[in-house]
């Protein structure tokens, strides 16, 4: 799911990780499991936690680094709106 959301092919992801395309395919088909090293690399690449990748945490995060205070406020308002709470608590 993360690979597709980031518009990456299996080949592109494999190249980024330094592994074969068939290894990426095996991960996606649950034929094999990435080593700890690749779980950490995948987490960094997709900007998610290793717990998220391992299915221990269903919460994903959005990086707001580099955004202005006003931009952060807009993101916060959008999230609240999407959750059905049109009035931010702030």
Domain ranges across the chain: 2-53, 60-90
Superfamily of structural domain 2-53? lambda repressor-like DNA-binding domains (1.10.260.40)
- 47 pLDDT band, cuts 50/70/90, is confident
Q: Which of 76, 28, 59, 16 is nearest to 8 (CA)?
A: 16
Tens of pLDDT along 5-35?
999 999 999 999 999 999 999 999 999 999 9
Residue 41: both structure tokens together: 């690399």
Q: Model pTM?
A: 0.65
Tens of pLDDT along 59-82?
767 778 888 999 999 988 988 898
Q: With contact defined as beta carbons under 8 Å apart, do 75 and 62 qualify?
A: yes
């Amino acid at each position: 799911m993360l690979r597709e959301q980031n518009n990456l092919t299996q080949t592109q992801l494999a190249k980024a990780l330094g592994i074969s395309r068939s290894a990426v395919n095996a991960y996606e088909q649950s034929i094999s499991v990435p080593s700890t090293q690749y779980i950490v690399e995948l987490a960094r690449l997709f900007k998610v936690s290793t717990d998220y990748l391992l299915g221990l945490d269903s919460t994903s995060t959005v990086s707001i680094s580099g955004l202005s205070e006003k931009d952060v406020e807009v993101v916060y308002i959008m999230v609240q709106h999407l959750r059905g709470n049109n009035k931010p608590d702030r």
